[in-house]
Amino acid sequence: MTETTTAAVGDRVVHKQFPAISRHRLALYCGASGDHNPIHVDIDFAKASGFPDVFSHGMLVMGYLGQALSDAFPPDRIRAFSTRFSAITQVGAELTCEGTIAELFEAGGERRARLTLTTKDQHGETKLAGEAVVALS
């Protein structure tokens, strides 16, 4: 967990790597999330829609980033969390999630930090770019 009393702008406070995303993982995530869009599991549907293969739910990728975030900050300290899905995440992607402190400020009677977040695959391609606001104390 992040030592919140000494937090400084530029600190890397979130860092976690995840295993390669398998087709099985995509099938599990359909059930876990209620998102049954066949584009994530049915290659015939994906091809008919103009894609070469199935690809990951954006929210599975954001779920990994959320896990990296709440490893560093308990969920009740997370005030906001947002991402832009920059690129499709392919089967086999090995994701690394990173977060650094971009700003320290006070709001709602709390010391808060704004974090800049990214998720990249093993080739360094950015899949998600996001930010979060967390309470430090």
Residues that bind other proteins (CB under 8 A): 18-19, 25, 28-29, 31-39, 45, 48-50, 57-60, 62-64, 66-67, 69-71, 74-76, 78-85, 88
Transcribe 38-91 into DSSP letters.
Answer: GGGT-HHHHHHTT-SS-B--HHHHHHHHHHHHHHHS-GGGEEEEEEEE-S--BT
The residues near 76 (Cβ < 8 Å, ≥ 6 apart) are: none
CB of 92 to other proteins, least distance (A): 16
Task: Identify which of residues 82 and 122 has a Cβ nearer to other proteins in the complex.
Answer: 82
- Of 8 and 29, which has the nearer Cβ to other proteins? 29
Q: How far is the CB of 134 from other proteins (least distance, A)?
A: 10
Please name the helix (run of DSSP H) or strand (run of DSSP E) that holds residue 2, with its range, or none: none
Would you say 8 or 76 has its CB closer to other proteins?
76
